[in-house]
Chain A
Amino acid sequence: MYDIIIVGAGPAGMTAAIYARRAARTVLVLEALSYGGQIINTPDIENYPVEAHISGFDFSTKVYEQAKGLGAEFKFEKVVGLRDEGAVKTVVTQKNEYQAKAVILATGSENRKLGLEDEQKLTGRGVSYCATCDGNFYRKKVVAVVGGGNTALEDALYLSDLAQKVYLIHRRDSFRGEETNAARLSERENVEIIYNANVTRLLSEKRLTGIEVTNKLDGSVRTLEVNGLFIAVGRVPENENFAGLVDLDEAGYVAAGEDCHTRTPGVFVAGDNRAKMLRQLVTATADGAMAATEAVKYINAMA
């Protein structure tokens, strides 16, 4: 049995591992894919203290090595369930079961899909969720970005340097993203912003050839010929496997305060899957520190 099992090896989970190991607790980190989480898609982090520039992958590798160096154990298995047996928590993966005194859920989030027909089939064939990863394939081509948050604005700016033309499709009449980004975007000659509209159909032959955009106000439909569609409509927390033990808010985030406590004693939450005001690298790592500290406190109180 471990003292603490951490579900998810993103910045929150790995920081929790560092704090738990420094409190001399045994730690197992379970991760479905690879260490790093969402941040590995970021080519350049410029807002995390200490380093002016670092890639998300390099950042993650450093944190991973730091946690491992302190003695945290990592296993790459997808967690599918969690059972609360009071003093013992059982974490179920696709292959095994592991037990711990306390569990920290740091599962993060995944890209929200538009939910359109053929969206999955066309992913990698014109449909993308990562402009910085795939933008290079669209040099001098026509692309569309859908979304209205900071990610959508940043994606549109990034793509406007590469593509011949960028459509930005937003369902509202103004942007909720940072004002500087919106202002910079309006200065770009090759960017056309389409407000009050949804992407309602993906057109394809072997790959994406265009999209159908429907105006929300008058119902008019416009077909745009595009080579690529970048979907940036937010993220969905990955909490459904734990819904029986933790309270979720309307959007699916774990309802927990800054102390990272959930409804179930001994089960804590850290990072992007927690209800919070600001989802950034620095707030994720802060959660990791808090959740681990609270988990250690909980274990000490058990004895």
Chain B
Amino acid sequence: MSIMEINKGNFEAEVLKSDVPVLADFNAGWCGPCRAMKPMLEELAAGNPGYKIVSIDIDEEDELAEEYEVSSIPCLVVFKGGEEVNRSVGLIPKDAIADLVEG
């Protein structure tokens, strides 16, 4: 599975109405720690986990970032059944990322 780019248009369908839990990565191209975390997210996605991983560029999608009160990136938000259930700010190891959704 690959990481899907999310925008305001597909956010509801792909994140809020997703059948499986969603790990949303709020990030930006100028953010070093975000770029450092990308390969970890890609590795997790490649392992076909029981959840979906999506990427939200906070510069392009500032309304989504504001709506979810993202004020530090990288910011990982876990959604289940349309609700935020978990959140983590800053660079964390791959195992800890998986734990956010599975733990």
Contacts and interface: CB of A to CB of B under 8 A. Distances in A.
Nearest to A208: B71
Interface in B34-75: 35-37, 39-40, 59, 65, 69-73, 75
Contacts of B94: 76
Contact of B72 (A42, A56, A124): A124
B75 A43 contact: no
A201 interface: no
B99 to A, nearest CB: 13
Interface in B73-94: 73, 75, 87, 89-94
A133 B73 contact: yes
A43 B71 contact: no
Interface string A229-263: 00000000000000000000000000000000000
Contacts of A36: 32, 36
Given A125-B69, A207-B71, A34 B90 contact: no
A57 B70 CA distance: 22
Interface string A122-138: 01111010100110111
Contact of A55 (B32, B65, B87, B91): B32
Contact of A137 (B39, B72, B91, B93): B72
Contacts of B69: 125, 206-207
Given A125-B69, A125-B71, A137-B72, A43 B91 contact: no
Interface of B: 28, 30-33, 35-37, 39-40, 59, 65, 69-73, 75, 87, 89-94
Q: Shortest 6 CB-CB distances between A and B: which pairs?
A: A124-B89, A40-B32, A57-B32, A124-B72, A34-B36, A137-B71
8 contacts: A41-B33, A42-B32, A55-B32, A60-B36, A78-B93, A124-B75, A136-B59, A206-B69
